[in-house]
Structure 1
Amino acid sequence: MRLRFTSFAVQLAAWILLALPVLPAARADALAGAAGLESQYQQLQGELAGNQFKRPLYLKSSEGAGAVKGDIHAVLAYPFAQVREALASPENWCDILILHLNTKYCRLSSAQGKTGLRMHVGKKIEQDLSDTYRVDFTYRSGAADGNYFSSSMQADKGPLDTGDYRIQIEAIPLPDGRSFLHLSYSYSYGMASKLALRAYLMTVGRDKVGFTVTRRDADGQPHYVDGTRATVERNTMRYYLAIDAYLAGLSAPPAQRLEKRLDAWFAATEQYPRQLHEVDREAYLSMKRNEYARQQKPAD
């Protein structure tokens, strides 16, 4: 009798499972991603409400064996539909990335069914492209629905012996017409890059720090993280501010959007001069206007 009951129970369970709707993989990924990001939003309420950034933002970094990563979670003052439309379209990413001081050029491409972004990175001054490093990103769309979206960009190789570059984003709507964003930026590095960074930090970069407070003096003065973690924190913040500046520019007429983005990005970075100040406003605006104009020319 027990065997019959067990057999019946197994059959009944199978019938129930077969009767349940099967979610498409993309839909299931979106539900899981939305739930995970919502959980992070709830857990970070204290950090988002009060922090050194004076905006609803939480930044953390980590460093492992030859790899470093920065993560930002932030509340964006824009509705989810606008955020998703802007950030889930690869066509917009070159206009976002060019705001970063070290991005000298960006061009969207498509080949063999893959979407790519050819990016050139260099110094914080105007440069010929021949004097910059080329980094080829592959763009991948992730899960997306009315309550969640994600996407990523990956490059196998970068300057010197750096590689495995990843820029990942995901977002969900918030009840008050805002959005919650997670941005992740990471890469790996080898001995040549480590030595180059060490030389940089011993000379012109000796005062460079990140945002994470490692300790405080008796009078409360903070000491910030330095080295590779500081580098990834500064760049993660610059990419986040580029996203925020791009969204801010959408409120202007198309012909005025570039200037609004440039103004917004520079003004935001100047809120953190200890970490992000590099050039004066006019030098930044002049450089970026020229680089943006070069970016609009037909591809070579």
Structure 2
Amino acid sequence: MQITPDENSMHARLHSSVLFCRCIGLLIAVGLCAQAWAAEGGQALRDKYQSLAQQLADNAFHRPLVLESTETPNMLKGDIYSVVDYPFATVSGALGDPAQGPANWCDVLILHLNIKYCHAASGASAGVLDVNLGRKVEQTLSSSYRLEFGYHPVVSNADYFRVELSADSGPFSTRDYRIVLEAIPSPAGGNHTFLHLTYTYGYGTAGRLAMRTYLATVGSNKVGFTKAAESPGAAPEYVGGVRGLLERNTMRYYLAIDAYLKSLSAPSDKRLQQRLTTWFSATEQYPQQLHEVERQDYLQMKHHEVERQQTAQ
């Protein structure tokens, strides 16, 4: 049977219509999934807030904060839940926005002692953060370790957002790095936000050996925040080892987020200095766990590293 030009056009239009309907259906499905994820994630955070309300109000951190940690033979995971004194829209807009989020996260991460460099760029499907890990002193980029974090704004609406940073591999056979931040407006009301930060990574044999070496030398006397033992009249004992290491770094990342958000109310040319001084002062509130360098050494090192970020790739 011969097909006329009109029939060809009709078939083409029909094919286009089917494809269009399938695309619309996919978009609707994705939208519904995002809505379901937002509803489920938001409700889970509200439930978590209720279960932690007493700990948030009364704890050893002198701020509404709860830290939890998990150690398995091949993975470390730290979670911090906290109420911060910033509107939800400010937190979501600064750290969950697909356009500005990656660069803003670099401003957060560089505050950490071990982050020596961070550069944000656009990837195939999301933002990309090139991050260098190193020691707690000034060093060249060539002597540090480069990780590539993917930036994924998973979901964002008027009362819940979730963003994930992930890197498949790192130094010494470490792998599956994930930094996840999710938040809701504070269930207690007011212009506050209840947020949940997760920091996790896995490790193999080389990573385990590297951590053992560190913990047997310069890290031998370092501890985390979870009490391992407590006796009447005696100073509390805190977890050490790799779990203590994880807790210290999870807290450093949380304090970096808080310092970044606090700086947003300052004039743009004053924000870097405020972030640096706020972060360092906050870490000094927990000297047993977080003190590593003196204030002036930290400020000088970080100013040099931020300046290097403007040119190095």
**TM-score, with normalisation over the residues of structure 1?**
0.90
Inter-partner Cα distance in structure 2 for 1:136 and 1:84: 23
What corresponds to 2:218 in structure 1? 204
Which of 119, 125, 128 is the equivalent residue of 2:140?
A: 128
Inter-partner Cα distance in structure 2 for 1:111 and 1:254: 27
What corresponds to 1:285 in structure 2? 299
Comparing 224-233 with 199-208, greater Cα deviation is found at 199-208
- 2:190 matched to 1:182? no
User: Sequence identity of aligned pairs in percent?
Assistant: 52
Alignment of 1:167-178 (within 5 A): 167-174=179-186, 175-178=189-192
What corresponds to 2:152 in structure 1? 140
- 2:218 matched to 1:213? no
What corresponds to 1:78 in structure 2? 86
Inter-partner Cα distance in structure 2 for 1:216 and 1:160: 35
Q: Quick one: which amino acid aligns to residue 70 of structure 1?
A: G
**TM-score, with normalisation over the residues of structure 2?**
0.87
Inter-partner Cα distance in structure 2 for 1:199 and 1:218: 34
Q: Secondary structure of the equivalent of 2:270?
A: helix
Q: Quick one: which amino acid aligns to residue 44 of structure 1?
A: L
Alignment of 1:58-69 (within 5 A): 58-69=66-77
Alignment of 1:5-84 (within 5 A): 24-84=32-92
Q: Quick one: which amino acid aligns to residue 199 of structure 1?
A: T
What corresponds to 2:6 in structure 1? none
Inter-partner Cα distance in structure 2 for 1:45 and 1:155: 33
Inter-partner Cα distance in structure 2 for 1:287 and 1:153: 25
What corresponds to 1:119 in structure 2? 131
Comparing 61-70 with 238-247, greater Cα deviation is found at 61-70
Alignment of 1:156-167 (within 5 A): 156-167=168-179
What corresponds to 2:258 in structure 1? 244
The CA deviation at 1:65 is 2.8
The CA deviation at 1:202 is 1.8
The CA deviation at 1:259 is 0.3
Task: List runs of 5+ in structure 1 lacking aligned partners.
Answer: 1-20
What corresponds to 2:245 in structure 1? 231
Q: Secondary structure of the equivalent of 1:211?
A: coil
Say whether the 8 Å CA contact 2:160–2:183 is kept in structure 1.
yes
Q: Secondary structure of the equivalent of 1:207?
A: coil
Q: Secondary structure of the equivalent of 1:24?
A: helix
The CA deviation at 1:216 is 1.1
Inter-partner Cα distance in structure 2 for 1:145 and 1:84: 9
Q: Deviations over 1:50-81 (max 9, x none)?
A: 11100000001001131010000000000101
What corresponds to 1:195 in structure 2? 209
Alignment root-mean-square deviation, CA: 1.4
What corresponds to 2:8 in structure 1? none
Say whether the 8 Å CA contact 1:73–1:180 is kept in structure 2.
yes
The CA deviation at 1:114 is 3.0
Inter-partner Cα distance in structure 2 for 1:111 and 1:240: 26
The CA deviation at 1:24 is 1.8
Q: Secondary structure of the equivalent of 1:30?
A: helix
Q: Quick one: which amino acid aligns to residue 125 of structure 2?
A: G
- 2:116 matched to 1:90? no
The CA deviation at 1:142 is 1.0
The CA deviation at 1:261 is 0.3
The CA deviation at 1:217 is 2.9
